Structure 1
Amino acid sequence: MDPKSYCLVKTNRNLQYNVFHVKAKGCKPTLVFLHGFPNSSYDWRYQIKFFTDQGYGVVAPDLLGYGGTDKPLDTALYKASGIAQDVVDILDRIGVTGDAIPIGHDWGSKIVSRLANDHQDRFAAFGFLAVGYGAPNPTLSYKDFVASTAKVFGRELFGYWAFFSEDDAPAVVTKYYDAFWDGLFAFEPETVKLLAATGGFDAYLPKNLSVPLPAFLPPAVCLPNNSCIDQTGLSAPFNWYKVVTSDLDREDAALVPKENYKINKPVFYGAALNDMVAVSALFYATMPPYVPQLTIQNYTASHWVQWEKRDEVNQDINAWVGTLGLAACAAKFARFI
């Protein structure tokens, strides 16, 4: 990723984002890649090279709290509606006016969901990896969400959000730094089950275990992401979790009109079949009622599907988006025929 392709963009909320941007060639659409925890735009290194080589435009911001972007500690600034508006502001500032397709992974998928709710007409289509579209639910508390998903899957999937939301979590992680990162990226099934449950990190971190990383993720791959965390800590990124474990997320969801829950544009969902937290079956069940134009591709991969199966993911997204791009070209040049 060429450092010269980054620029600093100030949004209407007076927040400064560090943004990777390469302009589209010809009538190719622009893909807007939105990363999740605990990383940065570097998450998308394999996609950025592939799609810029194909002539696509690419926008990949370090999202709020990460990388070279501002890291405020006011939790309310991390509500999905605000960050979604920041993304639209970024596109306006850098001159991306049409044929943009946001693609999210992990928490980036939450922002893509909110872009679909609040700014659907602004985009040609929407993409999700590992974590699928989530329709607003202003009546479901975090506690009830954890309980309901545990009832369906026989274990807690999102209990760890409570630990990440604790005020002393950044200090605890710093104390057990290596064990935290090893546990987060190792994907050993029993470790994942433990960490996903309420109290899992509290029980796991003091053991200071070293867990081997998977073959597709050599230690050097994590360094550009972790170096950003080293310098600034996790206090800002953990605000993403504080939003959803508090009433802020429900209040934010209540602002979405019910008629905006449905996505009336093409949607791509890349399911990570070996993801033991963002379990694909959850999204198989919840997405179809709200997404009539849904394309699903399944990958035998962990949560980091865009790394582990990068060639397949890139080719499948290219095939899906390519059709949309050809349609856009036809519309643009129809007046000359």
Structure 2
Amino acid sequence: MSLQPIAPQGDSRIEHKTAVVNGHTYHYLLGVPPGGKFNDTVFLIHGWPDLSLGWRYQIPMLLDLGFRVVAPDLMGFGGTDAPKVPPNDINVYGLKRASDNIAELAKIVGADRIILGGHDWGGMVVWRCAQWHPELVSHVFSVCTPYLPPRKEYFSAELLVKGPLPQFQYQIQLASGDVEKSVKDEESIRQFLKGLFGGQGPNGETCFDPYQGLIAENLPLIGDSRLLNGDVLDYYVKEYARHGIHSTLNWYRTRKANWEEDLALLDKQTISIPALYVEATYDTVLTPEMSKGMEAFVPNLTRGDVPATHWALTQKPEEVNAIVSKWLADQGFGTRSSL
């Protein structure tokens, strides 16, 4: 099975497409197996600070298995619109709106049912989309992000940090507006992305820590990242420079808005469709412990784990692909040769 990742430009396996989705332009990658035949469609939803191309190692695997693949840039990222807040409500960056946009994009590409995969924020999106649109999502999988059921009580980020999730301290900083003061042009965006994807300074300096957030003074020191470099890094920098970093950080300003909309799902906490959770054993933010008890709410759950940090998709692509492809096979999905 091919592991040649999707190139950002000029890759014949995918097309860069746009569509107007609920009033906003979305950019998405569209891949169709050779010959144009497919039985099922997989949507792949990225997280922060990532793009649709974050799935560049998984898209070829899914195409090889005979799936059509749709990977959008989320609201505020890359080629997708970045509506300003205000005048727009912050809910435009919320989980329900993202779920509704996936459903609308599925209609646009002619998919009545989809398999839905997510990572990081995209993981939160796919779990909620399975709840908001159960008629659309037949199977769901998430890399790194466990399922967290809707709650009747509201917990602010400050309360979470003081309680069960101290490693979420960075989210308070990301929502504050401080990051934009340091990450504001192509050069600082480049250093920021290199650092977030594992680049370090000459003495091991880092520019991000879950308990501190962005360490701005270290940005100039950051060297190359093994996970994001070359043409792919250049592409990410250009895509992030379209809107700046602010719109992507709006996702961290939606906690209360998401909770308010989640209240309508309190009687739909159980996700009964087949689901896969791929744990990254060295993820310091979405730690493996966070997934304890998921089976109570996701009874048809399969688990897998990879020895990776948060960037499992690109750090351990063979292992992630092996888990996802086996799960799909176990669900009865065939290979391209059977089409």
In the superposition, the TM-score normalised over structure 1's length comes to 0.84
Amino acid at match of 2:268: N
2-structure distance, mates of 1:178, 1:96: 36
In the TM superposition, 1:1-337 aligns within 5 A as 1=6, 2=11, 5-11=15-21, 13-23=22-32, 28-74=39-85, 75-98=90-113, 100-139=114-153, 140-150=155-165, 156-174=166-184, 177=189, 179-186=191-198, 195-197=209-211, 199-201=212-214, 204-208=215-219, 210-213=221-224, 215-218=226-229, 220-244=231-255, 247-256=256-265, 258-283=266-291, 285-326=292-333
Q: Give the number of the structure whose residues are more often helix, by fraction.
A: 1
Amino acid at match of 2:103: V
2-structure distance, mates of 1:66, 1:193: 21
Amino acid at match of 1:78: Y
In the TM superposition, what is the alpha-carbon distance from 1:325 to its structure 2 partner? 4.0
Amino acid at match of 2:290: L
* Equivalent position of 2:3 in the other structure: none
Shift in alpha-carbon separation, 1:220–1:260, aligned structure 2, 3 A? same
Shift in alpha-carbon separation, 1:47–1:88, aligned structure 2, 3 A? same
Shift in alpha-carbon separation, 1:310–1:194, aligned structure 2, 3 A? closer
Contact 1:178 1:210 in 2 (8 A): no
2-structure distance, mates of 1:216, 1:183: 10
Number of residue pairs matched by the alignment: 315
Q: Deviations over 1:220-264 (max 9, x none)?
A: 5433222211232011111101112xx2122122121x2311110
2-structure distance, mates of 1:264, 1:192: 41
In the superposition, the TM-score normalised over structure 2's length comes to 0.84
* Equivalent position of 1:330 in the other structure: none
Gaps of 5+ in 1: 151-155, 328-332
What is the CA RMSD across the aligned residues, in angstroms?
A: 2.7
Amino acid at match of 1:48: I
2-structure distance, mates of 1:172, 1:193: 11
1-structure distance, mates of 2:37, 2:189: 46
Amino acid at match of 1:170: E
Q: Deviations over 1:20-76 (max 9, x none)?
A: 223466564211100011121111111111211221111111111111111112222
Amino acid at match of 1:79: G
2-structure distance, mates of 1:137, 1:305: 28
Contact 1:268 1:295 in 2 (8 A): yes
Contact 2:180 2:246 in 1 (8 A): yes
2-structure distance, mates of 1:172, 1:255: 38
Shift in alpha-carbon separation, 1:187–1:206, aligned structure 2, 3 A? closer
Amino acid at match of 1:319: K
Q: Deviations over 1:62-106 (max 9, x none)?
A: 1111111111122221111011000000001110112x1110000
Shift in alpha-carbon separation, 1:148–1:233, aligned structure 2, 3 A? same
Amino acid at match of 1:183: G
Contact 1:157 1:277 in 2 (8 A): yes
Contact 2:207 2:218 in 1 (8 A): no
Structure 2 counterpart SS, 1:42: helix
2-structure distance, mates of 1:211, 1:95: 44
Structure 2 counterpart SS, 1:254: helix
Q: Deviations over 1:290-321 (max 9, x none)?
A: 11111111100111111111112112211111
Structure 2 counterpart SS, 1:137: coil
Contact 1:33 1:60 in 2 (8 A): yes
